[in-house]
Amino acid sequence: MSRFRFRRFSTRLLALLLGLLFAALALTYFFVSRANRSNALAHSEANLEIGAGIFDETVRQRIEYLAGSARVMSSDYAIKQSLDSDPATLSSLLESYTRRVRAPVIALLDPDGQLRANSDAAMENENVGPFRYLIGLAKDKDPAEDSGFAYLNNALHVLVVVPLYAPYPEIAAWFGLAFPIDRDFAQKIKDPTHLEVTFVSTDAPPHPRVLASTLPAPLAQAVAQAAADNPKSRQRIRTLDLPGEQYVTLFKSADMLGDDPITVVLQRPLSAELAAARELESQILLISLAALAVAALAALWIARGVSQPVLHLAEHTKVIAGGDYAIRLAFDRTDELGQLASAMNSMSAGLAERDQVRDLLDKNVSPEVAAQLMRDGAALGGEEREVTILFADLRGFTTLSEKLAPRDLLALLNRYLDRMSAAIEEQGGVIDKFIGDAIMALFGAPVSQGDAADRALAAALAMERALVALNAELAAEGRPPLAIGVGVNTARVVAGNIGSHRRLNYSVIGDGVNVASRLQSLTRTAEYRTNIITSAATLAARREPGKISTRALGTVAVKGRAEPVEIFAVE
């Protein structure tokens, strides 16, 4: 699977800068959001603990108020005088007290806990069990008072019992006061704390009962179920997910008189705690987006500031690759790109100088020799290899030089050498050197050729044809014709750089070179009637013998050689 790549450097740089900035902003937003949530949770938990304290204090104050009201009633002379009255009279008197002490339920019980009268006509003797339970606890205390949570008529209440003495310490009766724990009571806790309050009975699992709540009924039932699923062994405060909202929730257990404990659930919506933080996050988000937009423009400007010079440099490399070294980059800057432009200008100048040297080298030595010198360096030394050497000489040049002015003679000589060199190079030959009007050429060195002998003979014939064409031009100019003699020989020689450490010449040395030069001289022999003489060694080295016609000329002795050389005329 191929990876996605940007085609432009500016796009890549822009994406990199924006990506880094976006990552930094995203991380900042993430950590701020996480810190806000953590702070909100901590603040909510602190509020819940405060709310739990307020709940306890509210219940305590309510109990104190009820107990105080009961004490006032126990000191009331009218009540003491009415203790022997009938239950209806006592109930009417107690009912009048409910409005004065703001206690919805007031009961009068005898010393044994039997109901004598009450303010609630619906309350029967069998319903006052919680009061009897409290009286049993209060008898062992000093003062003989007690309070607690209990169910009256299946509704949650706070109960208080206070004795009526006649006289002290004789208890003539007990006053029992009850205050309902309902939605109004829960709302009184919510108003100062801004907490949702729910009272839950879990005595009948798996169907917990909502006793009172400030929440809507569906949410309250969900809270009740969560309370039933949250035994005392689990965390007291946790986050609770309810439909449409997440609440930080405190579960507080409250003991009941003779029943299983109830659970008081205090909650605060997390969104309420996060409201200010969300506003801050929104501002951070807007600022981040604005910063991202500004950064995008700045990054685009930076990317273009980098990519445009790079594009100019890339275009300039194409100019250099095309061989134009005269154009220079003009970057008015001192940074790395400016230094790179200066380096490229220096490189262009160096390449121009190199090409000039190479051009001069190509003109003074063959391209093959120049390539070898450029590749392997100019070191003295050579190697033994088999090559075919061609010597060509312009006949009658001395006589011709006497008849022509030096300038004209040089022009004619260069004209002649140009045609001969072209014929040699077309066959892959290498011009070793020009010796006045003579030419020494190599086939098979410095580049090896499997058909060097064939190429050398073909070059000799091409030179002869080229001379015919040149003589036709000279005749048209009223100039005398030129004559040529060519000697070709194949032998093993030493090929390499010859000379001093300051000046070198690639050439070949050996007996085969002398033989080729001697064969060229033999073309002046009139009885041979040929312009081209080659040796038997060259004919033996040919790849395609039938292509060139030869004529045997016998053997000749060569100066410096003990053995004669068999020679042939090339026709």
Q: What distance in Å separates the CA atoms of residue 459 and residue 413, rounded to the nearest whole number? A: 19
In the three-class reduction of DSSP (H, G, I as helix; E, B as strand; rest coil), residue 462 is classed as helix
Q: What residues contact residue 397 under an 8 Å CB cut-off, 6+ apart?
A: 413, 436, 437
- How long a stretch of residues is the chain? 571
pTM: 0.51
Q: Quick check: 137 and 160 in contact, CB under 8 A?
A: no
| DSSP string for residues in 376-421 | H-S-SEEEEEEEEEEEEEEETHHHHHHHS-HHHHHHHHHHHHHHHH
Strands 483-499 and 532-535: parallel
- Provide the pLDDT for residue 3: 57
The Cα-based distances of 87 to 106, 116, 180, 254 in angstroms read 13, 6, 24, 35
| DSSP string for residues in 236-258 | SEEEEEETTEEEEEEEEEE-BSS
Summarize pLDDT for 457-490 with one digit per residue, the tens: 999 999 999 999 999 999 998 888 899 999 999 9
| Tens of pLDDT, residue by residue, the chain (571 residues) | 445 566 666 677 677 777 887 888 788 878 877 787 788 778 878 888 888 888 888 888 888 888 888 888 777 777 777 777 787 888 888 888 887 777 888 888 888 888 888 887 666 666 788 888 888 888 888 888 889 898 887 888 898 988 888 777 788 888 888 888 889 989 988 898 888 999 998 776 667 889 899 999 888 888 888 888 776 544 578 888 888 888 888 888 888 888 888 889 998 888 877 777 777 778 777 887 887 788 777 777 776 766 677 777 767 777 777 777 677 776 666 676 677 777 777 777 777 666 665 565 455 455 555 565 555 554 445 788 899 999 999 987 777 778 888 888 888 899 999 999 999 999 999 998 898 889 999 998 888 888 999 999 999 999 999 999 999 999 998 888 899 999 999 999 998 887 776 677 778 888 899 999 999 999 999 899 999 999 999 999 998 877 888 999 999 987 767 789 999 999 8
Q: What distance in Å separates the CA atoms of residue 91 and residue 100, rounded to the nearest whole number? A: 15
* Fold that domain 60-180 belongs to in CATH: Beta-Lactamase (3.30.450)
DSSP state of 528: G
Q: Where are the domains of the chain?
A: 60-180, 378-570
The token duo for 444 is 């098979």
| 378-570 CATH pick, 2.40.10.10, 2.60.40.10, 3.40.50.2300, 3.30.70.1230 | 3.30.70.1230
- Provide the pLDDT for residue 380: 46
Q: Quick check: 62 and 158 in contact, CB under 8 A?
A: yes
The Cα-based distances of 330 to 321, 334, 343 in angstroms read 19, 12, 12
Q: What distance in Å separates the CA atoms of residue 538 and residue 69, rounded to the nearest whole number? A: 145
* H/E element, 197: strand 196-201
- Provide the pLDDT for residue 123: 67
- Provide the pLDDT for residue 436: 86
